[in-house]
Structure 1
Amino acid sequence: MAEKNAADARCGVDAGKRRFLGGTALAALGALIGDAGALSGSGISSAYAQAAAPSAAPPAPAPVAPKAPQHLKFPGKNEGLVVLGDRPLVAETPESLLDDDTTPTEKFYIRNNGQIPEETRDPDGWKITIDGEVNNKLEITLGELKSKYKAVTRRMVLECGGNGRAAFSPPARGNQWTNGGAGCAEWTGVPLADLLKTAGLKKTAKYTAHYSSDLHLSGDAGKPPLSRGVRIEKALDPNTLIVWAMNGQPLPNIHGGPVRLVVPGWPGSASQKWLTRIWVRDREHDGPGMTEFSYRIAIKPMVPGDKGDPANFRILESMPVRSIITNPANGAKLAAGTRDLKLRGASWAGDLTVKQVDISTDAGMTWRQAKLEKPKNKYDWQRWTASVKLPSDGYYEVWARATDSKGAMQPHQAASWNPQGYGGNAMHRIAVLVG
């Protein structure tokens, strides 16, 4: 099964079968209307084509139907999540399941790098160590963390660094995320800055290094599956939290419980799950997931598909601007005569905010500005709504494009190709059929 999933991911199979626009628009339309005969490239069903073709012409071979997505079956999780890999377990959330202002835990995406550890029987006894370039090594249990520090609750986006990877051409390595490697939950915990203040940072403190209790896929206990870190300035951001609750409930084991980091706006890999140690370093961290092409993007644009030179890469920090359409769902069929199409969605922009979201129903020839809501707090996503007029029944593609507070706009296709497909933020598109 692991080999099959890996092969599917490499070939972009999951992306194609989950994207309504993964094939031609006409093929998608055939899927929409439930045609018993698959549509050919000309938009004529194979059955009709055979009947209409001259008797001397051989029938065209029927196109191969895409494989159905593998849906997640995991305790406490919505079965609409789509499995991208099972070793390690990775599952994304279809955009239409992200229609809540606060993403329910059961709809939140899953990303692992190693083996999922067993759930602890003593959450409050869980110990975290902060050492390295500090004046006082700090060892604290979760129970002490809760009792000695003031907790805060903030709604913030957590996003996988590879979100949007499926849009790269040629395909990049890794799980073929569409837009579902993101969610916006309410996190309760303590600012990491408070603990670093207690430990006392030395002037040599430059970077953090994060460690956890999950086991490497190989089973080697001496080999961390992932150890990333952030610049000390980001670690001191008051919104970088050590959290123990998600949406008002104890942090589930699958999401890093009993305690994890949440480093909002940056790739989710920096938000270490099952947190055990923060090593403060005097240099950029070089643990697994920090070197070569891991969570790095090209400094000088590279030729798509090229091997790449590690010296031309920098660490991906703030995530790029993105918007998604959460209602209607991709592939929706609307009643005949529908002329007012009401849309809902979400947008976010890493360390920045979203300035504007625009909608197009004519392939980008014209745009209509959506109504954009303010975030609840910094790093919250910004919900948006729009209403567009449709001139008639028929097939329509709806595009959503966000612009961040510095003026950067989502591209039509994933730009800045890199071997592992980070930073892909192509515009989200859905298709609807009216009548």
Structure 2
Amino acid sequence: MRGEKMSTEPLKNTELSISPQVIGLQVESMNQDIIPNDNFFVRSHSNQPEIDINTWNLNIFHDDKHIKSLNYDDILSLKSHEFKNVLECAGNSRAAIQPPVEGLLWDNSGVSSAYWTGVSVSQILEGIETAGCVEIAFIGADVAMNPTTNANEQFGASLPIDKALLPEIQIVHSMNGETLPISHGFPLRLIVPGWYGMASVKWLTEIRLLSKAYYGFHQSEYYVYQKLGALESDKPERVTSMQVKSLVTSPNRGQSFTDCPVLIRGKAWTGTGNISKVEISLDEGKSWHSANLEHNSEPRHWTSWEYQFENAKPGYYIVQSRASDSEGNIQPMKFDWNFRGFANNGIHGVPFRIKPD
């Protein structure tokens, strides 16, 4: 259950787009364990849909055959589960990539963590036959033009049937103890722990049990690792699991200090396993020193860490952080370049200064 007190101090936000709405949370505002709803980053793919909760239903289909409808009260009547989960936009941190890449130029602001409350997909589908299904697709109410078909298409994403029915795959109705805000998907949002945020479909309106693979522009053609020289027809790999990553949240870029020690803080997360180690370098990667990790009992929540930089001489420094997880993944100095800059988990550095006495 929730134990932390939510700070009332306003956090900084960066608006990247008005329509569709895209808002980032500045890195120095990530020192909180839980990000308040009003400050949690926002990534929408089209204009926010209008939802009338009095007529809204969650419709369940087997291919094109309608099986069942649930209204909002039906969902709220089910036994709910609260959990912490970090979401990161797949395009987070692409602004710093060279050569430049296609897409919204996120700095490092497309990541936040919250408490979510909801019910599992398997709970909602209890009693419904899934034999012969290979995937489950989750369809939102937001609509945009598919540039390949030139037809309007609802945003959606699918999961393999075995993954979709895992207990951690949740359909949430609350965020940080409050009704899910409209910008985050009211009335219902899918949460896929460990995967990049585009899989966590907002404004959920349909669940489709499919006997063949789902097609949607964003999943099938946009959120893919497009390499240089590879043709679109080569069926590039789909973007799914978050890569192990850390960010320095303090000091701020260019901050000056007049004495030591300097407290260095940050966050780390991974889509697989648990964060096992965060290391700090203050000499451009020549040497690395272990940071102290805060206990984290929920592996899909971010982990807070800190390091005391002691006995430093006056001068100019860059602090870098490198995370490792229990599956053996280590944050790289540079990420594996792709055309849209997805999954950039290259090592983050922040310059700061220690002034003479």
Question: What's the TM-score, normalizing by structure 1?
Answer: 0.74
Identical amino acids, percent of aligned pairs: 31
**Residues 344 and 119 (structure 1 numbering): CA distance in 2 closer, same or farther, change over 3 Å?**
farther
- Residue 110 of structure 1 deviates from its aligned partner by 0.7
**Which of 292, 317, 321 is 1:371 aligned to?**
292
1:320 correspondence with 2:243: yes
**Which of 71, 87, 104 is 2:19 aligned to?**
87
1:109 correspondence with 2:41: yes
**Which stretch shows the higher mean deviation, 388-397 or 254-263?**
388-397
**Which of 83, 108, 119 is 1:190 aligned to?**
119
Structure showing the higher helix proportion among its residues: 1
After superposition, what is the alpha-carbon deviation per residue over 1:402-427, rounded to whole angstroms, capped at 9, x for unaligned?
012122211112x2221111111111
Task: Name the SS for the 2:143 alignment partner.
Answer: coil
- Residue 339 of structure 1 deviates from its aligned partner by 2.0
Q: Distance in 2 between matches of 1:191 and 1:78?
A: 33
Gaps of 5+ in 1: 1-75
Q: Distance in 1 between matches of 2:189 and 2:329?
A: 31
**Residues 116 and 79 (structure 1 numbering): CA distance in 2 closer, same or farther, change over 3 Å?**
farther
- Residue 174 of structure 1 deviates from its aligned partner by 0.6
After superposition, what is the alpha-carbon deviation per residue over 1:138-182, rounded to whole angstroms, capped at 9, x for unaligned?
2111211111x2100000011111122223221111111222211
Q: Which has the larger radius of gyration?
A: 1
Q: Distance in 1 between matches of 2:351 and 2:144?
A: 41
The residue identity in structure 1 corresponding to 2:248 is I
- Residue 232 of structure 1 deviates from its aligned partner by 1.6
1:284 correspondence with 2:213: yes
Name 2:56's counterpart in structure 1: 126
- Residue 400 of structure 1 deviates from its aligned partner by 0.6
**Which of 341, 347, 350 is 1:421 aligned to?**
341
**Residues 79 and 100 (structure 1 numbering): CA distance in 2 closer, same or farther, change over 3 Å?**
closer
**Which of 110, 134, 137 is 1:206 aligned to?**
134
After superposition, what is the alpha-carbon deviation per residue over 1:5-30, rounded to whole angstroms, capped at 9, x for unaligned?
xxxxxxxxxxxxxxxxxxxxxxxxxx
- Residue 189 of structure 1 deviates from its aligned partner by 0.5
The residue identity in structure 1 corresponding to 2:60 is I
Name 1:16's counterpart in structure 2: none
Q: Distance in 1 between matches of 2:69 and 2:183?
A: 24
- Residue 136 of structure 1 deviates from its aligned partner by 8.2
Name 2:5's counterpart in structure 1: none
**Which of 310, 315, 325 is 1:404 aligned to?**
325
Name 2:3's counterpart in structure 1: none
**Residues 358 and 103 (structure 1 numbering): CA distance in 2 closer, same or farther, change over 3 Å?**
same
Name 1:431's counterpart in structure 2: 351
Q: Distance in 2 between matches of 1:245 and 1:312?
A: 36
**Which of 251, 254, 259 is 2:180 aligned to?**
251
Q: How large is the RMSD of aligned CA atoms in angstroms? A: 2.5
- Residue 77 of structure 1 deviates from its aligned partner by 12
How many residues were matched structurally?
A: 346
- Residue 389 of structure 1 deviates from its aligned partner by 2.0
- Residue 133 of structure 1 deviates from its aligned partner by 5.5
